[in-house]
Amino acid sequence: MHYLRSLFIVGVFFSTMSLIYSQTNTYNGTVIASDLEEPLFGVSVLIKGTGDGTLTDLDGNFEISAAPGDTLVLSYIGYETQEIGLGTQTNLSITMGPDNEVLDEVVVIGYGTIKKSDLTGSVAKVSAEEITKVPAANAINALQGKVAGLQISNTSGDPGSDPVVRLRGITTLNNNNPIAVIDGVITDVSAISLLNANDIESVEVLKDASATAIYGSRGAAGVIIVTTKSGKAGKNKVSFSVEQSFESIANEIEVMDGREFATYLNQIEPGTYNNLDVLPNTDWQELIYNNNAPMTSANFSISGGSENATFYFGLGYFGQQGIIEKSNLDRLTGKLNSEYRLSPNFDVGLNLSMLLSDKQNTPGVVNTALRAWPINTPYLDDGTTFAEVNGGNPLAAIEYSNSNSDRLRSLGNLYANINFLNNFTFKTSLQFDFGAGKSKSFSPVFFVGSLQQNEINDLNYTNDYNLGLIFENTLSYNNEIGRHRVGAVLGYSTQDQRNEFISGSTEGLLREDPLFWYLEAGQNDFETVTNNAARSTIISYLGRVNYSFDSRYLLTASLRRDGSSNFGGNNLYGYFPSVALGWNVSNESFWNVDLVNRLKIRGSWGRIGNEKIPGSAQYALIRGGRDVVLGENEGIQPGATFDGGGNPDLKWEDTEQANIGFEVGILEDKFTLEMDYYYKNTFDILVPLEPAGYLGIGAFRSIFFNAANVENRGFEWNANYRDNIGDISYSIGFLGTTIRNEVTNIGQGFGADSLLVGGDLGNGQRVARSSVGNPVGFFYGYQVEGVFQNQAEIENNPSLFGQQPGDLRYADINNDGLLNANDRTIIGSSIPDFIYGFNAQVNYKTITLSADFQGQMGNEIYNGKQAIRFTTLNYEERFNNYWSGEGSTDENFRPVLGGPNFQPSSYFVEDGSFLRLRTVTLNYGIPNRLLDNLKMAGANVYVRGTNLFTATQYTGYSPEIGAANAIDGSIDLGVYPITRVFSVGLNASF
Amino acid sequence: MKKIIYILIVISIATSCGDDFLFQPPRAALTVGSFPATADDALLAVNGAYNILRAWQINTGGFPLLDFMADDVVKGSSPGDGTAVAPYDNFTHTAEEGGLERWYKTEYEAIRRTNLVINEVPNIDMEEDLKSRLIAEARFLRAFFYADLVRGFGAVPMVTEINAPVDLVRTPVETILNEIIYPDLENAIVNLPERSGYGAEDLGRATKGAARGLLARVKLFYKAFEDVEELTQAIIASDEYELMDDYADIFTAENEHNIESIFEVGAIPETFANGGSQFANTLGVRGSPNRGWGFGRPAYSWISEMEANEDPRLEPSVIFLNEELDGVVISGDGATPDTIYAGGDIVEIEAYNQKVWYPGTDTRTAFGHNKRIIRYADVLLMHAEALNENGKTNEALDYLNQVRSRAGMPEYNTTSQSELRDLIMDERKYELALEGLRFWDLVRTDRAEEVLGPLGFIKGKNELLPIPQSEIDISQGRIEQNPGY
């Protein structure tokens, strides 16, 4: 309720404000840009010390009421600010020159802005120009390779799947996504997909505690602030862009062909297939993946405004068919930013983003295609009826899959800014993040085989509704007194997040036609409906001071107090302080190193929190619907009991972070280097763990615990060099991060004091662990030393129960002469030692060629696809080189369906290092003289290739494996392959 | 204007919320403390404990692992399916097989549900008779789950509270028997009504007879024959149960909760959420008609023995290919060989467990099968065994012959205790085949090595299953592994 009340009060206030009016003498003037020799439109003209002011019109003219003796302050982005003392002359002619001081670029930080030179924290800014220079389909992908420490991985090629975003490695064990703040609205990174790259004015990535602590409990994994474009007063600006791409699978996984598979099975069960020549040979991957699947994007925007109102309107479409049939996505986005100046000291505005999407939920056939027997055929002899396939017929699975999700999401910020007492700004805003969706899947009656059939058609339907509201008030103070520059902000914010869903299912629909895909078409007997909800709330108080003395000595301090409903009574609130110092060495008078034009040293310390757990994690819930069937006539009697477990002692996860770094510019910033050493220690990490079975929460169920402390440290750098040779200009950049990740403590409370077990393969095997002194989620199992070549070797070496010649020889790690579970050891780590990227760009006149590489080193992947399965399925190619007798191989074991060789071991661990040419783009800007003829402001055409080349030893579709939970490590259980994409596009503006 | 700004700021702070805004209880769910609070809640909580008897995992992790290990059953299904559980057939199973973990953890989940009742219902102000009955039902179930655990795994952590301490170790079997299983069942015998004491709508709840039967089964496993004799005698004397006239009628759908049934799990042909049980789907006919996955098929050696004995119980126990049942012709699975030979001899045929048959042609209807847990024929055979061991061979013979004659087999008239001992064990093999009891019969009579040794059984190891590896890993070895694994 209090939101509505506040909104009402704000509304009343607005109406009152518009009545306030003041009047003195009238001055007229014209502002000319010295470089363009044209009038400047939209220049802010303020009477110093009052906050009253106006803007110049299209012809650069302004009119203002002021008293003689007042001083006018004229400012315009990109131009030097001028002050004009007023006298008797009421007609003024003013020339403004461009601002060449690059350092005074303004950087958006949480709840305010700051001059880059005054910045003490580690904040990377990516400008609109950088984002759109190399066109990218997805706004978030445009950041790849531009910010040191920011890793964006496309772990799945499924249309619309969100990339995995990691800043400075893995901080916590659970949700490692940085948060996104879009036009002031705190939300998740996936919301960036609501925006087109063209809509973005700037992106700031906040990395260290000094920058993120102001976001308190949500800042631990970093903050990505996105500011979208607003309109500028003057002639409307229209732009559009279109891009057409074609994608294909980058590489198939090598699996056995029909003959190899039959040969292998014959080794296990001699005589199973007597005539290998007549067996079919089906390449299932080839059958399910389409080549040159189209992907289209088109964007349109128009922006402009008058002196008192500006607007930016954007519309975008994105369509991707996907390389698997029935995985397509269609997405429509809309953007509206508008701001109204009700009086010189009073603005109101609205930022609104909307997304409508329609996604066919991809049939789960990736693994089926890898596992289906190659000696089975997709169709019976008639060529149209699906044949029964061991492991499942992937084509039938696609055919009978009908699953679709529609979503609407909208992000908005309704705000008012009031400037008063010269230096104060009060900002109040109501923000919302609304999402609603429905998802429907229908399965018709079909028969392919005994394990792939549906006897009665069925329908599942889910509808969800999510609304996050934030009511936020901040009071800012900014002033410059002599050599002192001070900025401060105080704020109070409340957040209310509500989620609700309703889902239903039924069977036996009257007809199979989509017109009948509604619950009402089903039979009452089969109908089930369920509905549930969750709500979580946060109350926050925040404050920050920035102080700069003579642009040389810099100080920032901040504090946030967050209360979260996700925690129980005693642990409701968390405090998140930070402090940072900076020194612009190159601004000192003694600095006379001409070579180095810029040098800044900075350091910070702070504490950030994490409360990203389900609100109900503290409770052991009791639910109804746990019924019993009783009685002569077998009727249901209702029951209620536990549904999983909870942990009432949950408390905040805290990350303490220290950062020390420097920024240097050499030869007038031809060469720039930014380097940081970071140290993060995360305490009481919140993580869902499967506790000991005797706690009784059930099989494969987890409880959240404050389980461990984890330390991350390393260097990160971003080095750039740019220069030109005649007409050719070029730039190269190299950025990288080293990561040392170590668990420093394992918490109490879940029955283990030095070990966490994760990495469930779904077959009873858990292959990842976390323990003190080791990286999070390392792989754990037997270390393979070779293959037993004969019985004598088995007798002379420790072996597992029942091992035979041709079986893997595991290391007796504890050297006790026995081989058992105690000999399992660390067999790999998912955390790379080093993540890097480099990019290069060459310009000749209006032609630009750019390339972006990305890579990582020193990590391993557990190939869970090869682990033991419940039934006999096709094998990956490696199994072809099986042991076939003494001396045949020391790497692969004999053909066998299960047993000791399938124990978790280094046999299934592969090197995950890779280097990938992420994108290469050739861009041609239409020359100005042509543009003039076409009456265009700008236009360019480009071609781009994505994922053209990957150097890796890894045998899966892609070495970029996402992990939902860090304690599980990078386990490849089969994902929608990432694709190789060729694109051609056109941008134009008028 | 300034005034307005100040007012606005003051108001915006004043509209701020307090700690109550930060209290967000779960939606659509209760928590301990608010449940169970009333007599109605008490009944809901007990029913919630029964509910897990229908869960797929409670049946040894979904698959009939105990039958796989016995000599009357093979893994079944098609040869390539279920390779993960195939090792139980030849005793090469390890602690990492997933079914084991599912089972172990689900037993404790079940125990937690019973502990909710046993710990909380005593605090409810309600009618005392009903209260003690509901607690007794929960104690019966708790004993049932613990009996499964100690027989399967030996010493296991003992939990009697709702929230178990996190640092438990294994409690000796003796302690669990004396502190939980025996007192729970003795309480249940006192406080539960006989079967006839329940209304028709409550058929299927634990009864005095069921508590006695379960306690007898446990006592028999630990060779307390005096107790077994007394308990089974009490069941016989209760006049609540008798043998069905025709063996073929015991397991049919129309004879659920029949006069021979002492404890069984009610289910209807629906999904689990709506009242079904997947047990018979896991074991059901594979292929055509499509009733299930076909796991746990009768062993050919057992079939041959029954054929040689001309035992009429063979036909009602086994579904042979091309047999017609309830108007449905069983043609079986294309991917499963009808007959498997080794060295010219038949070693396996495609045939299914008829004791889980439920009429129908699809998988859903298979969910309607009621799993029979304790039946009167078992009680009679336990009684016979106890009498014989207690030196009352003559009396024992009569009870064995009741089961024999109902089956249509000739009666025995031996007077030798040791001969009768063997005859009773054989009779259990024929009468109770495919019902999950054979493996434990062999273990408790120390005949497992002799009978199962050729299949891979190792004495001193395979009497117990391995503790799931995850339990040992999560507890960092505080929970220790059984010998040999």
- Digit-coded pLDDT (tens) for A357-410: 999 999 999 999 999 999 999 999 999 999 999 999 999 999 999 999 999 999
Does residue A509 belong to any structural domain of this protein? no
Which residue out of B35, B160, B166 would a mutagenesis test of the A interface target, given it has the greatest number of A Cβ atoms within 10 Å? B166
Q: What CATH number corresponds to the domain at position A115?
A: 2.170.130.10
**A707 and A743 part of one domain:** yes
A657 lies in some domain? no
DSSP B361: S
Q: Are B280 and B367 in contact (CB under 8 A)?
A: yes
Interface size between A and B, measured as CB pairs under 8 A: 320
The pair of structure tokens assigned to A631 is 């009685």
Across the interface, whether the CB atoms of A629 and B204 are under 8 A apart is answered: yes
Residue A328 lies in a domain: no
Are residues B333 and A450, on separate chains, in Cβ contact within 8 Å?
A: yes
Residue in B45, B109, B476 closest to A697 by CB: B109
Contact by Cβ (8 Å): A690, A705 = no
Q: Which residue has the tokens 């005054």?
A: A118
If one compares A697 and A46, the residue with the highest pLDDT of the two is A697
Asked if A695 is an interface residue toward chain B (Cβ–Cβ < 8 A), one would say: yes
Q: pLDDT-derived band of residue B3, with 50, 70 and 90 as boundaries?
A: low
Contact B156 A418 (CB under 8 A): no
How far apart, in Å, are the Cα atoms of A782 and each of A302, A731, A813, A895?
Answer: 62, 48, 9, 19
Q: One-letter amino acid identity for A233?
A: A
Q: Tell me, yes or no, if B105 comes closer than 8 A to chain A by beta carbon.
A: yes
Task: Give the model's confidence band at A601: pLDDT under 50 very low, under 70 low, under 90 confident, else very high.
Answer: very high
How many Å lie between the alpha carbon of B39 and the closest alpha carbon of chain A? 13
Point out the residue among A532, A641, A870 whose CB comes nearest to the CB of B84. Answer: A870
Cβ-count burial A912-944 (b if 16+ within 10 Å, e if not):
bbbbbbbbbbebebbeeeebeeeebeebbebeb
In angstroms, the separation between the Cα of residue A398 and the nearest Cα of chain B is 22
Q: A155 and A25, same structural domain?
A: no
A425 φ/ψ angles, rounded to the nearest 5 degrees: -130, 130
Q: How far is CA B317 from the centre of its chain?
A: 19
Residue A160 falls within a domain, yes or no? Answer: yes
**B109 and A CB contact within 8 Å:** yes
Q: Say which amino acid occupies A228.
A: T
The CATH number of residue A91's host domain is 2.60.40.1120
The reply to whether residue A764 touches residue B100, judged by beta carbons under 8 angstroms, is yes
Tell me if chain A has a CB within 8 Å of the CB of B415. Answer: no
- Shared domain for A115 and A212, answered yes or no, is yes
pLDDT band at A162 (very low <50, low <70, confident <90, very high): confident
Q: Which of A236, A269, A289 is the last residue of a domain?
A: A236
Structure tokens at A652: 């905040």
Residue B5 to residue A565, Cβ atoms within 8 A = no
Tell me which residues of chain B, numbers 417 to 476, contact chain A at a CB-CB cutoff of 8 Å.
Answer: 468-476
* Partners of residue A765 in chain B, C-beta under 8 Å: 96, 98
Q: Are A220 and A171 in contact (CB under 8 A)?
A: yes
| Mean pLDDT of the region B294-313 | 97
Cis, peptide link before residue A344, omega less than 30° from 0: no
Count CA atoms closer than 13 A to A477's CA, side-chain side.
Answer: 11
Q: Identify the pLDDT of residue B2.
A: 56
The pair of three-digit structure tokens given for residue B352, joined into one six-digit string: 């299914």
| A interface test, pick of B475, B479, B485 with most A CB neighbours within 10 Å | B475
Question: pLDDT, tens digit, for every residue of B208-246?
Answer: 999 999 999 999 999 999 999 999 999 999 999 999 999
Mean pLDDT computed over every residue of chain A = 88
User: Is the separation of the CB atoms in A349 and A339 below 8 Å?
Assistant: yes
| Whole-number pLDDT of residue A34 | 74
From A280-289, A341-350, A446-455, the region with the lowest mean pLDDT: A446-455
| Selection from A621, A764, A750, A644 nearest residue B109 by Cα | A644
Mutate to test the interface with B, among A507, A633, A641 (most CBs of B within 10 A): A641
B30 touches chain A (CB under 8 A): yes
Q: Nearest to residue A669, comparing CAs of A590, A722, A735?
A: A722
Mean of pLDDT values over A139-162: 81
Share of chain A above pLDDT 70, in %: 94
- Choose the closest CB to A903 out of B45, B96, B205: B96
Instruction: Determine the pLDDT at residue B1.
Output: 53
Both A120 and A137 in a single domain? yes
**Do residue A810 and residue A832 come from a single domain?**
no
Please state, as a whole number, how many other Cβ atoms lie within 10 Å of the Cβ of residue A28.
11
Distance CA(A585)–CA(A564), nearest Å, equals 42
CA–centroid distance for B232 within its chain: 20
Written as one letter, the residue type at B473 is D
The stretch A500-521 carries a mean pLDDT of: 95
Helix (H) or strand (E) holding A91: strand A91-96
When pLDDT is averaged across residues B461-472 and rounded to a whole number, the result is 94
Q: How far is it, in rounded angstroms, from Cα A640 to Cα B55?
A: 15
The per-residue pLDDT for range A718-756, each reduced to its tens digit, is 999 999 999 999 999 998 889 899 999 887 666 666 788
Q: Does residue A102 register a pLDDT over 60?
A: no
pLDDT in tens, B142-171: 999 999 999 999 999 999 999 998 889 999
User: Are the beta carbons of A621 and B257 separated by less than 8 Å?
Assistant: no
Residue A612, domain member (yes or no): no
Min distance B458 CA to chain A CA atoms (Å): 12
Most confident option among A126-140, A592-606, A931-945: A592-606
Contacts of B27 in chain A (CB under 8 A): 532-535
Do residues A341 and A14 touch, judged by C-beta distance below 8 A? Answer: no
Cα diameter, chain B: 113
The band of B9, judged by pLDDT with boundaries at 50, 70 and 90, is: low
Cross-chain Cβ contact A420/B21 below 8 Å? no
Q: List all residues of chain A from 572 to 631 with a beta carbon under 8 Å from chain B.
A: 572, 615-616, 619-631
Point out the residue among B22, B110, B268 whose CB comes nearest to the CB of A629: B268
Please state, for a pLDDT cut of 90, what percent of chain B lies above it.
Answer: 84
Alpha-carbon dihedral A913, A919, A920, A924, rounded to 10 degrees:
-160
Phi, psi at A796, each rounded to 5° = -95, -5
pLDDT of residue A748: 63
Name the least confident of A140-149, A217-226, B440-449. A140-149
Residue A409 domain-assigned (yes or no): no
Structure tokens at A329: 């996505």
pLDDT at B71: 96
Residue A648 inside a domain? The answer is: no
Closest residue in A to B167 (Cα) is: A751
Residues 6+ away with beta carbon under 8 Å from A289: A248, A249, A252, A323, A324, A977
Interface test with B, best of A450, A539, A903 (most B CBs within 10 A): A450
Q: Give how far Cα A625 sits from Cα of A157, B102, B277, Å.
A: 39, 22, 15
Reply yes or no on whether the pLDDT at B16 is more than 80: no
In angstroms, the first-to-last Cα distance of chain A is 46
CA distance linking residue A579 with residue A544, whole number of Å: 10
Query: Tens digit of pLDDT for each residue in A311-342?
Result: 999 999 999 999 999 999 999 999 999 999 99
Domain hosting A80: range is 2-100
Pairing status of strand A25-33 against strand A91-96: parallel
Asked if residue A339 lies in contact with residue A412, where contact means CB atoms within 8 angstroms, the answer is: no
Distance (Å, whole) CA B337 – CA B342: 13
Predicted pLDDT of residue A220: 78
Q: Position of tokens 């070779």? A: A786
- CA B253 vs CA A336, B56, B202, B354, B407: distances in Å: 66, 19, 18, 12, 20
Query: Alpha-carbon dihedral of residues A50, A52, A57, A59, nearest 10 degrees?
Result: -30
Number of domains forming the structure of chain A: 4
Same domain, A789 and A922: no
- Is residue A171 domain-shared with residue A226, that is, in the same domain? yes
Give the per-residue pLDDT at A15.
43
Identify the residue whose tokens are 């009574």. A569
Strand partners, A356: A332, A408
The confidence score (pLDDT) of residue A99 equals 67
A692 interfaces chain B, CB cutoff of 8 Å: yes
Tell me which residues of chain B, numbers 308 to 337, contact chain A at a CB-CB cutoff of 8 Å. 333-335
Per-residue pLDDT of B309-338, as tens digits, reads: 999 999 999 999 999 999 999 999 887 889
Q: Do A96 and A167 fall within a single domain?
A: no
- Measured CA to CA, the distance from residue B59 to residue B65 in angstroms comes to 9
Binned at pLDDT 50, 70 and 90, residue A170 comes out as: low
Distance (Å) of CA B470 to CA A472, A562, B96, B97: 47, 37, 7, 10
Range from A34-48, A848-862, B251-265 that averages highest in pLDDT: B251-265
Contact yes or no for A303/A228 (Cβ under 8 A): no
A28 at B interface, C-beta within 8 A:
no
B27 vs A2, A20, A534: nearest CB: A534
Does A639 contact B44 at a Cβ distance shorter than 8 Å? Answer: yes
Q: Complex ipTM, two decimals?
A: 0.95
As a whole number, mean pLDDT of residues B174-201 equals: 97
DSSP per position, B437-467: -HHHHHHHTT-HHHHHGGGT--TTTTTSPPP
In this prediction, residue A17 has a pLDDT band, given cuts at 50, 70 and 90, of very low
pLDDT of residue A23 exceeding 50, the answer is no
Q: Which two tokens stand for residue A511?
A: 């007809």
* Cα–Cα distance for residue pair A968/A985, rounded to 1 Å: 40
Residue A49 sits in the same domain as residue A112 = no
Count CB-CB contacts under 10 A for residue A459: 23
A10 in reach of chain B (CB within 8 A): yes
Closest listed residue to residue B105, CA positions, set B139, B43, B152: B152
Given B22, B47, B476, which is nearest A627 (Cβ)?
B47
Q: Is the pLDDT of residue A967 over 70?
A: yes
**Which has the higher per-residue pLDDT, B362 or B46?**
B46
The rounded distance, in Å, linking the Cα atoms of A869 and A877 is 16
Whether residues B290 and A625 touch (CB distance < 8 A) is answered with no
Q: Are residues A753 and A880 in the same domain?
A: no
Q: Of the given ranges (A839-848, A938-947, B2-11), which has the lowest mean pLDDT?
A: B2-11
- Asked if the model's pLDDT at residue A768 lies above 50, the reply is yes
pLDDT grade for A18, boundaries at 50, 70 and 90: very low
A709 CB burial (10 A radius; 0-12, 13-18, 19+): buried
DSSP character string of A282-323: --HHHHHBPSSEEEEEEEEEEEEE-SSEEEEEEEEEEEE--S
Residue A952 has pLDDT above 90, yes or no: yes
pLDDT score of A137 more than 70: no
- On whether both A714 and A752 belong to a single domain, the answer is yes
A508 reaches B (C-beta below 8 A): no
Q: Are A90 and A26 in contact (CB under 8 A)?
A: yes
CB contacts of B110 in chain A (<8 Å) are: 696
The span from the CA of A833 to the CA of A835, in Å, is: 7
Residues A50 and A134 in one domain: no
The residue of chain B with its CA nearest to that of A565 is B22
Of A236, A251, A286, the last residue of a domain is A236
Taking only residues 273 to 312 of chain A, the set having a beta carbon closer than 8 angstroms to any beta carbon of chain B reads none
| Position A799, amino acid | S
For the record, the structure tokens of A822 come out as 């105690």
Q: A640 and B44: CB-CB below 8 Å?
A: yes
**Mutation for testing the B interface, residue in A630, A780, A804, A820 having most B CBs under 10 Å:** A630
Beta pairing partners, B417:
none
B114 has which bridge partners? Answer: none
Q: Is A538 helix (H, G, I), strand (E, B) or coil?
A: strand
- The shortest C-alpha distance from B229 to chain A (Å) reads 30
Domain membership of residue A418 (yes or no) is: no
Q: Which residues of A466-504 are buried (b: 16+ CB within 10 A; e: fewer)?
A: bbbbbbbbbbbebeeeeeebbbbbebbbbbbbbbbbebb
- Of A100, A127, A155, the residue at which a domain comes to its end is A100
Answer yes or no: do B29 and A619 touch at CB < 8 A.
yes
